[in-house]
Amino acid sequence: MPDTRLRDLLASRKFFAVPGVQDMTAAVIADRAGFPVVYGSGYWLTASAYGLPDAGIVSYTQMLDRMDTLKRTSKAAVIADADTGFGSLLNVHHTVKGYEAAGISAIQIEDQEFPKKCGHTPFKRIVPVEEMVQKIQVAVQARRDMLVIARSDARQSEGMDGTMRRLEAYAKAGADILFPEALTSEEEMRQACAAFDRPVMANLSNGGLTPMLKADTLADIGFSFAIYPALTSVVAMAAMEQALIKLRDAGDADPAGMPIFDFKAFCELIGFQDVWNFERKWAKR
């Protein structure tokens, strides 16, 4: 039975926040915090799993494995980054089928050339609008219930006029959600949201090109939701660096003033209680 939570949230017309997750520990913490939808970030899942940049190096098979694992680990509905669809129209068809079989609620496809680049880094190149329109049409025909998100990276090369023309074409092609990537001002955000009769999403990436606005402001602008792909990663990395410096310099593995997650609580989150229950049941007596 399809997971309808994302559709239901969109139908409510109330703004909601979607945290990015870089690994399965972040996934279970997002569950604990009560988020009904999470975002499988291509950038951060690639970095955490393979130690590689988000530059089209990781394959469809590798990313499908990460998204499938995320869906099995998390209790939330999953929005999944699928880069450019990993190649040609046939690749897009195959990607949509694979992601939907994994239980993904929405697939994000972008209009960059393959291999792609992170949307907030330089040297992005985009495909002709007609090519992206065909990808969306293929994706819409291939899916059963999964939502299709059309992302445009045209802002840095074609400006807002080009971005708006592309989003209009993608909407006509059947995209369920529109994603103008790397907008640089509140004015641009309002322009994008005001022009369309379907959900528009924002990408609030810490350290990226888009202003880090509060949720109530994003709602007022007209966004349906925002993803926060970098938040868990950059916060965790800062804490890890501080803790390791204290360990290196002071030999202190329990530094005062730093929050440390309870180990027993995490054992429960990651499923050890089921393991222990099994062992109690089947232990030799």
Q: Determine contact, residues 155/187, Cβ cutoff 8 Å.
A: no
Residue ranges making up the domain that contains 260: 237-282
Query: Phi and psi dihedrals of 185, rounded to 5?
Result: -155, 160
Same domain, 11 and 143: yes
Do 142 and 221 lie in one domain? The reply is: yes
For the domain that residue 211 is a member of, what is the CATH number?
3.20.20.60
Q: Which of 209, 229, 249 lies at the terminal end of a domain, its last residue?
A: 229
Distances (CA, A) of 103 to 1, 2, 71: 10, 8, 7
- Check whether residue 277 and residue 198 sit in a common domain: no
Q: Is residue 192 located within the same domain as residue 251?
A: no
Q: What is the largest CA-CA distance in the chain?
A: 74
Q: What is the pLDDT along the chain (285 residues), one digit of tens a residue?
A: 779 999 999 999 999 999 999 999 999 999 999 999 999 999 999 999 999 998 888 999 999 999 999 999 999 999 999 999 999 999 999 999 999 999 999 999 999 987 766 656 666 789 999 999 999 999 999 999 999 999 999 998 999 999 999 999 999 999 999 999 999 999 999 999 999 999 999 999 999 899 999 999 999 999 999 999 999 999 999 999 999 999 999 999 988 888 999 999 999 999 999 999 999 999 865
157 lies in the same domain as 243: no
Cβ–Cβ < 8 Å for 199, 205 = no
* Global pTM value: 0.93
